[in-house]
Structure 1
Amino acid sequence: MAQHPAHSQNHRHPDEPPPQEIARVLKGADYPMGKEKLIALARSNGADGEVMAVLNKMTDRNFDSADAVLREAMRAE
């Protein structure tokens, strides 16, 4: 039985925002930064509903870099 494309290692679900879009709305972050401040920054940088939904699903903790945020965001999707 073939694996569903959304569950494949190399494919995102069509409704999931691309990592570069998440990185774009977090431009200007001053790490370390907590989840709530990241969400506020993303909102002020014009994040759409899909990005905001992913950020809201993330673990509530301090992130020390953009890479840490992106890793957590990809898990939260």
Structure 2
Amino acid sequence: MSQHPAHAQNHRHPDEPRAEDITSALKGADYPMGKEKLLALAKSNGADGEAMAVLNRMSDRNFDSASAVLREANRVE
């Protein structure tokens, strides 16, 4: 049975940031970095509200790479 398009795993709500938006927001990150430093970096890089909201919902821990941040961001979206 096929999935309804709205339930597909790659379906993204229009208000949710794309991975490229989060990657761009974290340009220049020097990993490992904690959530608070990632938020400060994203803000200084001019991240939009959706990207900031996703970063805010992430767990408060150290991230060792951009891919670790993206995995966590996808989990909380």
**TM-score surpassing 0.5?**
yes
The Cα shift of 1:67 comes to 0.2
Q: Unaligned regions of 5+ residues in structure 1, if any?
A: none
Q: Unaligned regions of 5+ residues in structure 2, if any?
A: none
TM-score (norm: length of structure 2)? 0.91
Q: Deviations over 1:3-41 (max 9, x none)?
A: 361x32121111100000100010100000000000000
- State the superposition RMSD in angstroms: 1.5
The Cα shift of 1:60 comes to 0.4
The runs of at least 4 aligned residues of structure 1 exceeding 6 Å deviation read none
The corresponding residue for 2:67 is: 67
The corresponding residue for 2:23 is: 23
Give aligned pairs, total: 76
Preserved CA contact (<8 Å) 2:16 2:50? yes
The corresponding residue for 2:53 is: 53
In 2, the alpha carbon distance for the partners of 1:75 and 1:26 equals 18
In 2, the alpha carbon distance for the partners of 1:8 and 1:61 equals 29
Any idea what SS the aligned residue of 1:21 has? Answer: helix
TM-score (norm: length of structure 1)? 0.91
Identity of aligned residues (%): 73
The corresponding residue for 1:3 is: 4
